[in-house]
Amino acid sequence: MHPHGATGPLVAALDIGGTKIAGALVDAQGRLLLRALRPTPPGGDGESVMAAVSEVLGELRAAPEWPSAVAVGIGSAGPVDAGRGTVSPVNVPGWRDFPLVPRVRASAEGLPVVLTGDGVAMTAAEHWQGAARGYDNALCMVVSTGVGGGLVLGGSLLSGPTGNAGHIGHISVDLDGDRCPCGSRGCVERIASGPNIARRAVEAGWRPAGGGAATAAAVAESARAGDPVAVASFDRAAQALAAGIAATATLVEIQVAVIGGGVSAAGPLLFDPLREHLKRYATLSFAAGVEVLPARLGTDAGLVGAAAAAAEALELFTLSPRLTA
């Protein structure tokens, strides 16, 4: 790894989710020099969650590399409001319009702090180091308990005015469809997320083999064994993802859609029907060529991406793989 004392500029990255708060010092090559981790206090009030963030930051500040840190990058579960520096993560109930950026800035010796949504951060990571590398126009998605995403357009990360751009999970592809918890109908997430893959299979009579939990992974196992109901539930998820990807390609001309998250681990069971459906929905000449690739980065994508988004926003160092080689 990176020898002590020889670092260039570093970004202190924070990845804040409903189950864990992770931190790292990230260098200009995207390497994680030091890690810190705390569980997100379940059901805690705002200050107890902030205390966990401060502990993670404290570990980073105590590291010998800290003096090289030039910024803090935060990727947070959303919605976020990058303009006001506040976050209201659906799965961190203690934080509603919580002033995360000023609080972190106060704990970080006045370094500049850049806040983005976790979908945008994941996209920054895949564009810098992963499957979207080398593409100037890309959609990156996480298909898991929910469906999130982010966009690279014209070679740059699209954050949007509030840091939430790329929320493909909540575009409607079925305007008369089932009600989504967000209030809309027929959202991509309502059809394609892991819990919805399992729900649809159960509603059609499927039961997990061996009496286990009714998860998307269990549906995938049954589908691989040939269960037609399980296969159909994955196919419907793939269809919704294809319609969403096609809509994105038609609206903003992406060249590639990168898909990560737990549901993408189903592999060909998801990707094969997705590519077939995509041919039917992405019909215009400029959209028809959109590629679909599995994500390359794993759980570190949030940290790498929070650093990348901060580096890009503050023009700290060049991320482009074509320039850094």
Chain contacts with a copy of itself (rule: CB under 8 A): 79, 81, 88, 136-137, 151, 153-154, 158, 160-162, 164-168, 170-176, 180, 182-186, 239-240, 243, 246-248, 250-253, 255, 280-287
In this structure, what token pair is assigned to residue 124?
């920054």
Distance CA 281, CA 221 (A): 28
- Smallest gap from residue 101 Cβ to a copy of itself (A): 16
Q: Bridge partners of 22?
A: 15, 37
Q: 60 or 282: whose CB is closer to a copy of itself?
A: 282
Closest approach, Cβ 154 to a copy of itself, in A, equals: 8
DSSP state of 105: H
Nearer to a copy of itself by Cβ, of 32 and 115: the residue is 115
Distance (Å, whole) CA 189 – CA 170: 6
Handedness of CA 122, 126, 127, 132 (dihedral sign): negative
Q: Which is closer to a copy of itself, CB of 57 or CB of 287?
A: 287
Closer Cβ to a copy of itself, 102 or 155, answer by number: 155
CB of 188 to a copy of itself, least distance (A): 10
- Beta bridge pairs of residue 128: none
The pairing of strands 80-81 and 138-143 is unpaired
Contact by Cβ (8 Å): 115, 16: no
Comparing CB distances to a copy of itself, the nearer of 233 and 239 is 239
Which secondary-structure segment (H or E) carries 201? helix 194-203
CB of 88 to a copy of itself, least distance (A): 7
CB of 257: closest distance to a copy of itself in angstroms? 13
